[in-house]
Amino acid sequence: MTAYSDKIEQMLEYDRQHLWHPYTSMTNPLPVYPVVAADGVRIRLADGRELIDGMASWWSVIHGYNNPILTEALQQQARDFSHVMFGGLTHEPAVQLAQILVDNSPAGLDKVFLCDSGSVAVEVAMKMAMQYQYARAKEGKNRFLTIRSGYHGDTFHAMSVCDPETGMHQIYRGVLPEYFFADAPACRFHDTWDERDIDSFAHLIEQHHHQLCAVILEPIVQGAGGMRFYHPNYLARVRELCDRYDVLLIADEIATGFGRSGELFACDHAAVVPDILCLGKALTGGYMTLAAVLATTEIAETISSSEPGVFMHGPTFMGNPLACSVAVASVSLLLKSDWRNTIGHLEQEISRGLEPCCDLTTVEEVRVLGAIGVVQMKKPVAMATIQQRFVDRGVWVRPFGKLVYIMPPYCMNDADIKTLTAAIYEVVALEK
């Protein structure tokens, strides 16, 4: 063994002994692959192998790795200042970012709260909804309604609105707030709309609206809760019902924001404007952790106009200038690009590439929306084996449960999509 491979082996051993990885056992961890570089759509492993990245590091790296414009924004900001507290101070990167978000998100979302991560954004949004009702002297309206198969993050309130079966409700029973769950939408994105699809939701909101401060859901694309694409009319009906029953609508676009589903925001598929919008992940092009919660002026003014007169949240790294600068660069780059055609083309190529999977007996369904491709298996896959098979074929795909799915960086070319989707076909064909 060379000194270099010795060093990598030692690093991996230390990792196994001391580092938690996401959703992984500490005593019997799944293998992890050491990365030494990433550029464009490729991740380079320590042994020199290069993998075409199908995951965009969980929806975030939309412009690819090492984008020179994003890197320059970060470096420039680091030379000016990396961080200052946001209490009592402000700076251009935060103001510029707020302006870009306000100008380009659904109309009416004019107030911006910057925070650390997607889960924290969900906590902030839920607190905002509660504080809004409290400020209107509607303290009884302090519970939430959501839909099954959702995912909103791993902090406590976020967990409480994740799918009750696949989420962590069982483990945290008694501690986790118990909220209302409507059936997951059954009508798919491309199906003919069936008005009965909204019945379960309509029934719950009608029954419980006196206790409800808000509905929270992922518009159109349910991500980690099942990778499901539902009908825009469902979202439109939710908006109507929220209005009818005086309940706020929180749209969690942490995964879907910034073009992923084919519209800039998934809400745009239904021309719906939420009262509160959560953004994260692709916000910084995957460079840093940052999230934003946008709300209407009415919500902000109501919260501010009665006791305690302020919104009760203020994290240490709120409005971090490095993260804001790279976010300004990332969102500007996206908006300057022909993102609609790019995503449309990716949708076509991913569909074409995954189509052969439909013929495999182990495959339940193949579905594609925007730059998201999903192969749903009949049985759960064995993670360690399937991961190894993907790596052996030079691609990075990380399935979970029955879902083998991709959401590549937007800059992926046709040849790489072909290699990526062909590898998925080959690997999925080996499943029993």
Query: In angstroms, what is the minimal distance from the CB of 275 to ligand PMP?
Result: 17
Site string for ligand PMP, 40-69 (x = CB under 6 A): ------------------x-----------
CA distances (Å), 411 to each of 53, 63, 152, in order?
11, 6, 27
Residue from 54, 64, 93, 118 binding ligand PMP (CB under 6 A): 118
Q: Does 254 bind ligand PMP (CB under 6 A)?
A: yes
Alpha-carbon distance of 40 to 350, in angstroms, equals 18
Q: Looking only at residues 233 through 252 of this chain, which bind ligand PMP when binding is defined by CB under 6 A? A: 252
Alpha-carbon distance of 65 to 53, in angstroms, equals 10
Beta bridge partners of 143: 212
Q: Looking only at residues 288 through 347 of this chain, which bind ligand PMP when binding is defined by CB under 6 A? A: none
Beta bridge partners of 375: 366, 404
Cα-Cα-Cα-Cα dihedral of 51, 56, 61, 63, to 10°? 70
Any catalytic annotation for residue 281? yes
Query: In angstroms, what is the minimal distance from the CB of 158 to ligand PMP?
Result: 6
**291: helix, strand or coil:** strand
Alpha-carbon distance of 405 to 369, in angstroms, equals 11
Q: Which is nearer to ligand PMP, 238 or 427 (CB)?
A: 238
Would you say 70 and 98 are in contact if contact means Cβ atoms under 8 Å apart? no
Given the residues 65, 151, 179, 230, the one annotated as active site: 151
Q: Does 399 bind ligand PMP (CB under 6 A)?
A: no
Query: In angstroms, what is the minimal distance from the CB of 172 to ligand PMP?
Result: 17
Alpha-carbon distance of 237 to 198, in angstroms, equals 7
Give the residue ranges of DSSP H helices in 34-117: 56-59, 68-80, 92-104
Q: Which stretch binds ligand PMP (CB under 6 A): 217-225, 230-238, 363-371, 378-386?
A: 217-225
Query: In angstroms, what is the minimal distance from the CB of 51 to ligand PMP?
Result: 21
Q: Which is nearer to ligand PMP, 126 or 411 (CB)?
A: 126
Q: Which is nearer to ligand PMP, 407 or 423 (CB)?
A: 407
Q: Does 124 bind ligand PMP (CB under 6 A)?
A: no
Any catalytic annotation for residue 14? no
Any catalytic annotation for residue 230? no
Residue from 113, 132, 151, 405 binding ligand PMP (CB under 6 A): 151
Task: Give 92's Cβ-side CA count (13 Å radius).
Answer: 7
Residue from 53, 123, 218, 268 binding ligand PMP (CB under 6 A): 218
Residue number closest to ligand PMP, CB atom: 118
Query: In angstroms, what is the minimal distance from the CB of 181 to ligand PMP?
Result: 16
Alpha-carbon distance of 147 to 164, in angstroms, equals 10
What angle (nearest 5°) sits at the alpha carbon of residue 99, between those of residues 93 and 104?
A: 125
Would you say 96 and 112 are in contact if contact means Cβ atoms under 8 Å apart? no
Alpha-carbon distance of 430 to 386, in angstroms, equals 9
Given the residues 252, 268, 275, 416, the one annotated as active site: 252
Q: Does 163 bind ligand PMP (CB under 6 A)?
A: no
- 194: which 2 tokens? 């069936």
Q: Does 123 bind ligand PMP (CB under 6 A)?
A: no
Any catalytic annotation for residue 268? no
Residues that bind ligand PMP (CB under 6 A): 58, 117-119, 122, 151-153, 218, 223-224, 252, 254-255, 280
Which residues are identified as catalytic? 23, 151, 252, 281
